[in-house]
Amino acid sequence: MELLLLASLLLATANAVGGNTTTYIVFLDPARMPAVHASPAHWHASHLESLSIDPARHLLYSYSAAAHGFAAALLPHHLPLLRGSPEVLQVVPDEVFQLHTTRTPEFLGLLTPASYQPAIGNLEAATHDVVIGVLDTGVWPDACGRKLVGARSFSRGLRAANGVLGKTTFRSARDRDGHGTHTASTAAGAAVANASLLGYATGTARGMAPGARVAAYKVCWPEGCLGSDILAGIDAAVADGVGVLSLSLGGGSAPYFRDTVAVGAFGAAAAGVFVSCSAGNSGPSAATVSNSAPWVATVGAGTLDRDFPAYVTLPTGARLAGVSLYAGPSSSSPRPAMLPLVYGGGRDNASKLCLSGTLDPAAVRGKIVLCDRGVNARVEKGAVVKAAGGAGMVLANTAASGEELVADSHLLPAVAVGRTVGDKVREYAARGGRPMAMLSFGGTVLGVRPSPVVAAFSSRGPNTVVPEILKPDMIGPGVNILAGWSGVVGPTGLAKDGRRTNFNIISGERPTVTIRIKLFPAYPWIMCLSWTSMSCPHISGVAALLKAAHPNWSPAAIKSALMTTAYTVDNTNSSLRDAADGSLANAFAYGAGHVDPQKALSPGLVYDISTNDYVAFLCSLDYSLPHIQVITKMSNISCPKKFRPGDLNYPSFSVVFKQKSKRILRFRREVTNVGPAASVYNVKVTSPESVSVTVTPAKLTFNKVGQKQRYYVTFASKAAQNHTKPDFGWISWVNQEHVVRSPVAFTWKM
């Protein structure tokens, strides 16, 4: 009966927000709550009652743990009345966010015999006390193996904006999409022997912290992810006592007081929760990174040393390499054969993209169709080709995707190839005559070199919100990741995919869902899976290991350990490269580098940051006092007179020369000894010719664990006045046992 009443209430809420109402999040000053109110929720409801609004129908959420305020469906004339109240700090419209294994534990050094010793191995029992909260599309509970300690769903914001949920959508926290199950099992999945996707990537699947518990918060739905629902999920997770939060989603770049995730994450971090977020999948373009708040671990994506080779063979004898997860209908399928090849099998150029309805069945039936990557999902292109009667597909990258290869479990024989190979196939198909091609598949290959490589899709810096904070922070495995999957959706996620599997390999776009919501009627919301969605839970799981090993460390200390021990060389001992064009990558692509869990357990020194430090940082951004209060929930805020954004005790440096006269900048940092009591570190500086770097003092001496030492860095630009290209360097504190390394990015805005 209670469930029926709740369902009726939610339906009434959805109906109530029809007409001209719009969902808003109202942030309040908690210090101004009158004593007459028994709870924050009661106080929040009173604000609606003062507007002659029924809270039972219009109040969507009350926030009090990670943020303070409420979400409600309001009419335009309500806004000035609320904003005029001294108790109200800010009223903002609800916003839309995007959803951004068997090999990765070994690749990260968590299973190798030499290293799977006391450092990591003995932590598994300790992580039983660590709960990882996963904000995503829910979880498939049948696959949880007694790890799931809670599962909740939040959809009131979406219902208020969109009216109703889809008919086939689970109203509960059960995962129909698969994405949430995938991220949760990546972070904390228990070991499962003989796991694979239709025979690919066979092995023992396990999460990064297989002993940790999982709490699932379903905040994303087929129709979208709303900020009010996300904030409700964060608020609930903090109240529930999670130790780590994993959010594989993000929005655009906005000041932190207007960024719902940033506001909620601040409250979580202040409560001691480590928050990991995906950097986004808008790379390789510069200045595309999302989730850039310094109290968040912003995670980009790299490749594994595992691949799924497939080949396109031409009558010329050329055997062109690509990738695929196509498993075939059965083991008795016919052997590969030469088939006619067609490019642009339709009336116009749109057919080259293999968009729905663009292919002429008469032109493609029984043939291999060459499709350009872009616009629609990769697996959707294969479905379009199959529906038109095509026998196979070559999915060719264009300049936008470069040489990055992502394997998919297509519905028909299909091979994905990079831009160079794609251009060769396009050129061959354009010669005329009767072009032919043959597709073949090579299974699973390990030990691929070079690896890791920064994924082309991984969003890049610089940070457009606060350029003085270097983002992303680090990269982790994010391409071709095998993990658990929902039992009601096929590996492609397409409605027409009738296959079912317990595991799936994810790297990229899924079928796009477009809806029009009341908040922004002119802008349809497009949902796709962020590839950095897969790297984020890797870091969340590793953070759980560190939290178990060092329960007294702050979230900032854990992030510092992950960053200062990260590596920037691949398995050929060369500098990390960029999958987009094969060039050398830099800190705007990988932050501090690729995470190294073993070394992160013993970083030697950490850069710690307190809540008050973050407040001083916010003051340095010239935010108004109410805006700072929105983020911090603090009433009595005292801003220091001398504090610049670059003075935040961050484990990396972003040096921005903004004025012609400002050629010298000075930063300060403080490190805490978490290694041997008696430790001595010497500084090592790697700098470009464009900048002179001086560190004072050049030696740090520690006599006890927990001791803090401060140092200062002076950066003097030697670049010409017209120098605009960014440069990069490193500042490292070194002794016989540890290298505590911080990346430095230099930019000029003259």
Domain boundaries, the chain: 2-93, 97-304+450-605, 309-443, 610-647, 652-750
Alpha helical stretches, state H, 116-259: 118-121, 123-126, 156-162, 179-188, 227-240
39 carries an active-site annotation: no
Predicted model pTM: 0.90
Between residues 284 and 7, the one the model is more confident about = 284
Q: How far is CA 315 from CA 66, 214, 519, 533, 693, in A?
A: 62, 53, 55, 40, 58
Q: Would the pLDDT of 346 be above 80? A: yes
Query: Furthest-apart CA pair in the chain: how many Å?
Result: 85
Give, in words, the CATH class of 309-443: alpha beta
217 bridge partner residues: 135, 152
Q: How far apart are alpha carbons 272 and 256 in whole angstroms?
A: 19
Contact predicate 459/252, CB 8 Å: no
Domain 97-304+450-605 and domain 309-443, same fold? Reply is no
Q: Would the pLDDT of 715 be above 80? A: yes
Percent of the chain with pLDDT over 70: 88
692 bridge partner residues: 716
Q: At what angle do helices 227-240 and 260-270 cross, to 10 degrees?
A: 10
Six-digit token pair at 711? 């140092």
What is the structure's pLDDT at 145?
Answer: 64
179 carries an active-site annotation: yes
Contact predicate 24/81, CB 8 Å: no
Q: Which long-range contacts (CB under 8 A, 24 or more apart) does 140-145 make?
A: 140/174, 140/175, 140/178, 140/181, 140/484, 140/485, 140/486, 140/487, 141/174, 142/487, 143/181, 143/185, 143/484, 143/485, 143/487, 143/502, 144/214, 145/190
In which band, very low, low, confident or very high, does the pLDDT at 105 lie, cut at 50, 70 and 90? low
Number of H helices, E strands in the chain: 20, 39
Residue 238 CB coordination number (10 Å) = 25
Sequence-distant (6+) residues with CB within 8 A of 412 are: 326, 382, 385, 386, 390, 391, 392, 393
Give, in words, the CATH class of 652-750: mainly beta
CATH topology classification for 2-93: Alpha-Beta Plaits (3.30.70)
473 carries an active-site annotation: no
Q: Would the pLDDT of 111 be above 80? A: no
CATH topology classification for 97-304+450-605: Rossmann fold (3.40.50)
Quick one: three-class SS letters along 279-343? CCCCCCCCCCCCCCCCCCEEEEEECCCEECEEEEECCCCCEEEEECCCCCCCCCCCCCCCEEEEE
Neighbouring C-alpha atoms within 13 Å toward the C-beta of 238: 24
For tokens 């904003």, name the residue: 83
Would you call 46 exposed, middle or buried from its count of C-beta atoms within 10 A (0-12, 13-18, 19+)? Answer: middle
What is the structure's pLDDT at 519?
Answer: 29
pLDDT (mean) for 437-451: 94
Task: Please identify which of the residues 29, 136, 175, 177 carries the catalytic annotation.
Answer: 136
Task: Please identify which of the residues 155, 292, 533, 540 carries the catalytic annotation.
Answer: 533
pLDDT (mean) for 174-191: 86
SS3 613: helix
Neighbouring C-alpha atoms within 13 Å toward the C-beta of 391: 18
Residue 5 CB coordination number (10 Å) = 9
How would you classify residue 433: left for phi > 0, otherwise alpha for psi between -120 and 50, otherwise beta?
left
Q: Would the pLDDT of 332 be above 60? A: no
Quick one: three-class SS letters along 689-748? CCEEEEEECCEEEECCCCCEEEEEEEEEECCCCCCCCCEEEEEEEECCCCEEEEEEEEEE
Instruction: For residue 708, give the amino acid letter.
Output: K
What is the structure's pLDDT at 662?
Answer: 75
Residue pLDDT, tens place only, 620-669? 999 999 999 999 999 999 999 889 999 999 999 999 998 766 789 999 99
Q: Can you say whether the dihedral through the CA atoms of 207, 213, 219, 222 is positive or negative?
A: positive
Among candidate residues 228, 216, 201, 139, the one with its CA nearest the CA of residue 176: 139
pLDDT (mean) for 51-70: 96
What is the structure's pLDDT at 2?
Answer: 31
Task: Please identify which of the residues 44, 78, 179, 738 carries the catalytic annotation.
Answer: 179
